[in-house]
Amino acid sequence: MALLKKLWYDPVGSKVLAAGIVAVLAALLTYILELWPVFASFLITTYSFLRASTPVYNWLIGLVIVLIGLALRGFVAGHRKGGKGTLIIDYTSDEFFGVCWRWRIDEGMPHGIGHLHSLCPKCRYQILPRETMELRVSQWIVNFECQDCGYKGETQAGMWREVEQRVILKIQRNLRERLNL
């Protein structure tokens, strides 16, 4: 506290402190509003104000402001990534039954996976799984055939609902493995 007080009464130190406080407040505010351009112009305004009043130490004050800004930005970015959450969110595609699957992690869904769809591994055209009754053995099957390039995935026994469930269970198992659960 003594150092802080000394800095506060020091003509240059107080400016650095004040600039630091302003920068922190501005960074917090802009983080909330997601308005970095506004923050940048605010910094420029602050910098020119300080430049006008302290010709000798202006470069130092400018440097401090930039460093505080960068540190805050890094801190915020670190908080957004990091932790176990990264792994879950990063795992949003895989290949099962010879076709590419994509999905979103969706807390709103009972199984936690939403917007599940399949793509052709050759041309990336979306494949709409086709459910048909195999009359020979009187069983439902699901075909994955690309309507654009003619590629065929592995035919699965069962109705689409069951096959979709199998895909979701595979995704959930891989999620558990990635999270060591």
**Given 65, 146, 167, 168, the residue binding Zn ion (CB under 5 A):** 146
The angle, 0 to 180 degrees and rounded to 10, between the axes of the packed helices 11-33 and 36-53 is 170
Which stretch in 2-10, 65-73, 93-101, 121-129 sits in contact with Zn ion by CB under 5 A?
Answer: 121-129
CA–CA distance, 65 with 160 (Å, rounded to integer): 58
Show contacts with Zn ion in window 45-104 (CB under 5 A): none
Residue 102 CB, nearest distance to Zn ion (Å)? Answer: 15
- Which two three-digit tokens encode residue 70? 């960068």
| Closer CB to Zn ion, 16 or 99, in the complex | 99
- Burial class, 80, CB count within 10 angstroms (exposed 0-12 / middle 13-18 / buried 19+): exposed
- Which two three-digit tokens encode residue 59? 């470069």
Look-up: residue for tokens 């096959």?
163
Closest CA to 165 of 122, 120, 109: 109
Which stretch in 18-26, 90-98, 99-107, 148-156 sits in contact with Zn ion by CB under 5 A?
Answer: 148-156
**Given 8, 49, 75, 125, the residue binding Zn ion (CB under 5 A):** 125
| Closer CB to Zn ion, 98 or 158, in the complex | 98
Q: Return residues touching Zn ion (CB under 5 A).
A: 120, 122-123, 125, 146, 148-149, 151
